[in-house]
Amino acid sequence: MTDAQLTLISHPLCPFVQRAAIVLMEKNVPFERINVDLSAKPDWFLALSPLGKVPLLKISQTDNSEAIIFESMVICEYLEESQSGADLYPIDALAKAQQRGWVEFGSSTLTEAWQFLNAKDSFIADSKQTAFRNKLKQLEAVLTEGPYFNGTSFGMVDAVFAPIFRYFDLLNPTVSQPIFENLPRVTAWRVALASRESVIAAVSVDYAEQFQQHLVKQQALLAG
């Protein structure tokens, strides 16, 4: 596998792409990144993506054959199993299964966060903010000393939550601060993830500007 060339087919704002990019960088795997305009999906992309979504991982092997993997966690777990570098899951089967559960919890948390961020009326914004904060309260109850989800080692759960927390670093503190108030472990975790090299490099330097443009286009309350 070390001789294969990897291409991550992505979109600049997609949090699911960020998961895969973070894992690739944590594994120290060289890869090419190609962004796709999801508002005008090219034919070559639709031919590769059964669901018409990013991310895709294209694997070009030494025998000139190519393979495509789709769905972010499928890509992440493939990289975990096929690439060298630090393990992102525990070796113990029970601990690994428990962390996979929190990965799924992360996807549910992302849904609540995304609906809050894109809300166009105050009723939806308030209800989704409450739902998201409730998820954070559940995390607060299971986090330990940190700085990461599983203690001192960065893992797959961290790769899943880092793109979620990134959104709230871009908002006005008057919006984000109350959401994380009185959640010291979650707050410390969020800060640790924000400073991780792989997390920073998973998005382009103009990510904040692009995200703001997205909110304006969606006519979200937070665009103001």
Question: What is the tally of helices (H) and strands (E) in the chain?
Answer: 10, 4
Q: Kindly state the tokens that stand for 142.
A: 């299971």
Tokens representing residue 170 in the block: 């871009």
CA atoms of 74 and 64, how far apart (whole Å): 23
What's the rounded Cα separation, in Å, for the pair 56 and 70?
5
- Distance separating alpha carbons of residues 137 and 182, to the nearest angstrom: 9
Given the residues 6, 8, 9, 14, the one annotated as active site: 14
Tell me whether residue 14 is one of the annotated catalytic residues.
yes
**What tokens does 171 get?**
């908002």
Burial (CB < 10 A; 0-12, 13-18, 19+), residue 180, is middle
Q: 63-93 as b/e, with b when 16 or more CB fall inside 10 Å?
A: eeeeeebbbbbebbbbbbeebeeeebbbeee
Q: How far apart are CA 187 and CA 175, in angstroms?
A: 15
Active site (catalytic) residues: 14
